[in-house]
Amino acid sequence: ENVVNRIAAGEIIHRPSNALKEMIENSLDAQATSIQITVKDGGLKLLQIQDNGVGIHKEDLPMVCERFATSKLECYEDLSNIATYGFRGEALASISHVAHVTVTTKTNDSPCAWRAFYSDGKLVPGKPGTSADPKPCAGNQGTQIVVEDLFYNVPTRRKALKSSSDEYNRILDIVHKYAIHNSRVSFTCKKQGANTADIHTPSSAKTLDNIRYVFGATIAKELLEMEHTDSRWDFKLEGLVSNANFSTKKMIFLLFINHRSVDSSNLKRAVEAVYTEYLPRGTHPFVYLSLEIKPENVDVNVHPTKREVHFLNEDKIIQTVCEVLQSRLADANQ
């Protein structure tokens, strides 16, 4: 049974950055305004996330790593109306099948924090010979999740990964995206033992300020703002896009739909096509787009590794987004 679970887990958690994305989304769901990440060996040795969110009640601790245990879905109809990131209750369960997980958490109505250890979906003792029950400890409100020795029991998956520096870069990419988009939340990300953080954004900054923090002041200065509310196709668009080359080898395309970081190759291709009219060949713009579409019109990616998203009236919405982009670029290049 554990082998089956482990294989299933490996399909959800491919690499450290997948695990981290799920954990960041959990912290955001828990209304955190501060998310601090510490990493060792590209997340394979250690992946730690500390938030100041609502915390987990002690009674719920035995379940958090159980498959399909979610506090976020009341009934099946909710599936088409998902406002939170999580709804499957599979992420922590999967992680616990391929790593050692420690959760330390405190809700505001609890006098102390509680710590619990997990393996293969279940509570396990922290030290041999002790009970598996959660233990009281000191702590501030919020949740800390420590994931150690990821894929220790899946050597093939471990071998399939590149260097730990490559994995760390993927982690930084994920944190960048969420830090830019969630401007009310302060993010830090650092390597364990490092004196300075590789990412640090303050809370209550504007999206533009966060882009400045992450990608540098020069790029942020040149970005064009996009804003559009569309009653015809029923969506809202916000964006920040460059009107010039951005010094990378490819277009930076950050897309959020209903606040989830997703891919849409159709939209990306269309945006690229618009730019070819305005930028010389071989230049690569920066594009940040945030779309809000009625949840029931978005095909929620039921599989966590499938980030490609589709939505109702996709052609029309993409066309409209491109028209808005085109007119912004046309204005700026007059």
Residues that bind ligand ADP (CB under 6 A): 22, 26-27, 30, 51, 53-56, 64, 69-72, 86-93, 143
What span, in angstroms and rounded, lies between the C-alpha atoms of 299 and 323? 24
Task: Kindly give, in sequence order, each residue whose CB lies less than 8 Å from that of residue 105, ignoring residues fewer than 6 positions away.
Answer: 55, 56, 61, 113, 114, 139, 142, 143, 144
Which of 28, 199 has the CB closer to ligand ADP? 28
DSSP 223: P
Task: Decide if 260 contacts 300 (C-beta within 8 A).
Answer: no
Give whichever of 26 and 264 is closer to Mg ion, judged by the CB atom.
26
Nearest residue to the partner ligand ADP, using Cβ = 86
- Look at residue 214 and give the partner it binds from Mg ion, ligand ADP, none, a contact being a CB closer than 5 to 8 Å depending on partner kind: none
CA-based nearest residue to 49, from 87, 104, 91: 104
- Min dist CB 265 to Mg ion, Å, is 25
Residue 204: which residues within 8 A CB-CB, separation 6 or more? 183, 184
HSE value, Cβ hemisphere, 13 Å, CA-based, for 70 = 20
Q: Which is nearer to Mg ion, 66 or 230 (CB)?
A: 66
In whole angstroms, the minimum distance from the beta carbon of 245 to ligand ADP comes to 39
Residue closer to ligand ADP, measured from CB, 143 or 182: 143
Q: Is 196 in contact with 211 (CB distance < 8 Å)?
A: no
Q: How far is the CB of 182 from ligand ADP (least distance, A)?
A: 14
Please report how close the Cβ of residue 301 comes to ligand ADP at its closest, in angstroms. Answer: 13
Please count the residues of this chain forming the interface with Mg ion, following the rule CB under 5 A.
Answer: 3
Tell me, residue by residue from 82 to 101, as one string, x for binding to Mg ion by CB under 5 A and - for no binding.
----x----x----------
Tell me how far, at minimum, the Cβ of 169 lies from ligand ADP, in Å.
Answer: 24
List CB contacts of 149: < 8 A, sequence separation 6 or more: 44, 45, 99, 100
Identity of the residue, 91 or 237, whose beta carbon is nearer to ligand ADP in the bound complex: 91
Q: Residue 70 binds which entry of Mg ion, ligand ADP, none, with Cβ cut-offs from 5 to 8 Å by kind?
A: ligand ADP
Q: Out of Mg ion, ligand ADP, none, which partner does residue 279 contact, by CB within 5 to 8 A per kind?
A: none
Quote the radius of gyration of the chain (alpha carbons, Å).
21
Closest approach of Mg ion to the CB of residue 260, in Å: 11
In the complex with ligand ADP, the residue whose CB is nearer, 81 or 276, is 81
Site string for Mg ion, 14-33 (x = CB under 5 A): ------------x-------
Please tell me whether residue 304 binds Mg ion under the rule CB under 5 A: no
CA distances for 43 relative to 89, 146, 192, 223, 284, angstroms: 22, 10, 10, 33, 30
Distance CA 105, CA 123 (A): 15
Q: Give the residue among 164, 18, 155, 162 at the shortest CA–CA distance from 91.
A: 18
Give the pair of three-digit tokens for residue 333.
């290049």
For residues 313 and 299, is the Cβ–Cβ distance under 8 A? no
Minimum distance, C-beta of residue 84 to Mg ion, in the bound complex (Å): 8
* Residue 181, CA atoms < 13 Å, CB-side half-sphere: 26
Nearer CB in complex with ligand ADP: 63/224: 63
- The entry of ligand ADP, Mg ion, none near residue 30 (CB within 5 to 8 angstroms by kind) is ligand ADP
- In the complex, what is the shortest distance from the CB of residue 22 to ligand ADP, in angstroms, rounded to a whole number? 5
C-beta of 64 vs 223, nearer to Mg ion: 64
Which residues in this chain contact Mg ion in the complex, by CB under 5 A?
26, 86, 91
